[in-house]
Structure 1
Amino acid sequence: MATFIDPLIAFVSAHAWLAYLTLFLAALLEAVPVIGSVVPGSTVILALSALVPSGDLKLAWVVLAAIAGAVLGDGSAFWIGHRAQREILGTWPLSNYPRVIAQSEAFFKKWGTWAVFFARFVPPIRAFVPVTAGALDMAPARFYAVNIPAILLWAPAHVLPGVLAISALHRYGGIPHHVSLKPYWMIAVIVGALIAALVTWAIRRRQNGAVTPVAGRVTGQG
């Protein structure tokens, strides 16, 4: 992974516009079924956020790029599922991932509408839940009412750990701002991974003790 991320950071640090485009694409592709389960979108976002404290990237634009990519990715997957309906879950390439599709459907049976919110923080079903929501005929208004707030929380949760970790190194670790952060971006990734792991653990713990909601909550009925 480092052999891929290190040259990416070195290159985009000299081309800010390309860094924002990379962030946008990382968030978008992470939301695409199948592709999102293999693309290290979260790692890319965490790594590039390490460039904010040095001034190479602007925090607001980093967060906005991540939000825009996630909204477009989730929204596109949802509408594909919404138009194709349940048939798409059994077609290629989704048919090659029956276990993840089953997990996505089980998520809905357990959480109802809130599955869209919680799944954004739980890989790898994050990439499958939007298309599953559409395939199960979830109302578009209900989907976006839950999906967009989730993304507005997800983006800062992925960006800020990297920013704070590198800022702490600058302030308390004696690392000058002009020094290359190539050896330190992994710290940002580790911090972010720990936060993601805690969120995932909390969600799964609550899921195990939750009462199965009625099916009507998925489609907006009842």
Structure 2
Amino acid sequence: MTTFLDPLITFVSAHAWLAYLTLFVAAFLEAVPVAGSLVPGSTIIVAMGALIPGGELKLWPVLAAAAAGALLGDGSAYWIGHRRQREILAAWPLSGYPRVVEQSEAFFHRWGILAVFFARFVPPFRAFVPLTAGALDMPPARFYSVNIPAVLLWAPVHVLPGVLAVSALHEYGGLPYHHHHAGKHIWMLTVIAGAVVVALATWIIRRRRGVIEPAAK
């Protein structure tokens, strides 16, 4: 049965390494200020995730490529901001996006250390808050203590929807499987990701009832 995925499946089957590289670059660029608002990184990641149930791509390398790109992108933005301090927020090309820069700074001041976590899931803040955190002198240990868990949750949250959608087509829509071994890992990761989201939401609600930690000065 021919599907709209067939041309992509054919290409990726012959060039899997290029697909993983594309995932890495998409996740990296999505974290870069300005570029992150232009590159459809999330769309690319979801689309590549859709190729996992058929076996064209492997689950763990997809997650690793997405997470590595996001960590490198966030880290690069943070260290640029940390080195240049506030002057970077008024420099080109950020000077062309004063509203987003202002909103990102307000977002950071409102949520403090949690802004780094939330921003990973909220465009366009995803591409601006790490830079803002560095520019406002958040200590590296504090930044990475939140950024790394955020990225490790963000990767499966972005990859698994495409996986589950195509798995449903395989199961109920007559789309043939090429490989079956990924299924149990996919559902296990979905349950784990869901449990982590619930735990984090509960912690955030409790945290909001107290005092939010202010951004480091």
Bin of the TM-score, shorter chain as denominator length: 0.7 to 0.9
Q: How does 1:113-128 map to 2 (within 5 A)?
A: 113-128=113-128
Q: CA deviation at 1:213?
A: 6.1
Q: How does 1:1-150 map to 2 (within 5 A)?
A: 11-150=11-150
Q: Helix, strand or coil: the match of 1:217?
A: coil
- Counterpart amino acid of 2:144? Y
User: Given the superposition, is the C-alpha separation of residues 173 and 35 from structure 1 closer, same or farther in structure 2, using an over 3 Å criterion?
Assistant: same
> 2:129 & 2:6 partners in 1: Cα distance?
31
> 1:176 & 1:37 partners in 2: Cα distance?
36
Q: How does 1:113-192 map to 2 (within 5 A)?
A: 113-177=113-177
- Per-residue CA distance 1:21-64 (angstroms, 9 max, x = gap): 00000000000010000100000000011110010100000000
User: Given the superposition, is the C-alpha separation of residues 54 and 87 from structure 1 closer, same or farther in structure 2, using an over 3 Å criterion?
Assistant: same
Q: CA deviation at 1:173?
A: 1.1
> 1:90 & 1:212 partners in 2: Cα distance?
34
Conserved? CA contact 1:9–1:47, under 8 Å? no
Conserved? CA contact 2:109–2:214, under 8 Å? no
> 1:148 & 1:139 partners in 2: Cα distance?
14
Conserved? CA contact 2:46–2:159, under 8 Å? yes
User: Given the superposition, is the C-alpha separation of residues 212 and 135 from structure 1 closer, same or farther in structure 2, using an over 3 Å criterion?
Assistant: farther
Aligned to 1:189: none
Q: Percent identity?
A: 72
> 1:9 & 1:94 partners in 2: Cα distance?
38
Q: Give yes or no for the alignment of 1:217 onto 2:209.
A: no
User: Given the superposition, is the C-alpha separation of residues 134 and 211 from structure 1 closer, same or farther in structure 2, using an over 3 Å criterion?
Assistant: farther
- Per-residue CA distance 1:43-91 (angstroms, 9 max, x = gap): 0000011110010100000000000000000000000000000000000
> 2:164 & 2:55 partners in 1: Cα distance?
13
> 1:23 & 1:140 partners in 2: Cα distance?
26
Over aligned residues, Cα RMSD in angstroms?
Answer: 2.5
Name whichever of 169-178 and 50-59 sits farther off: 169-178
**What number of residue pairs does the alignment pair up?**
188
Conserved? CA contact 1:9–1:48, under 8 Å? no
TM-score normalised by the chain length of structure 1? 0.78
Q: Helix, strand or coil: the match of 1:174?
A: coil
Q: Helix, strand or coil: the match of 1:144?
A: helix
Conserved? CA contact 1:50–1:166, under 8 Å? yes
> 1:174 & 1:97 partners in 2: Cα distance?
47
> 2:50 & 2:26 partners in 1: Cα distance?
15
Q: CA deviation at 1:102?
A: 0.8
User: Given the superposition, is the C-alpha separation of residues 134 and 212 from structure 1 closer, same or farther in structure 2, using an over 3 Å criterion?
Assistant: farther
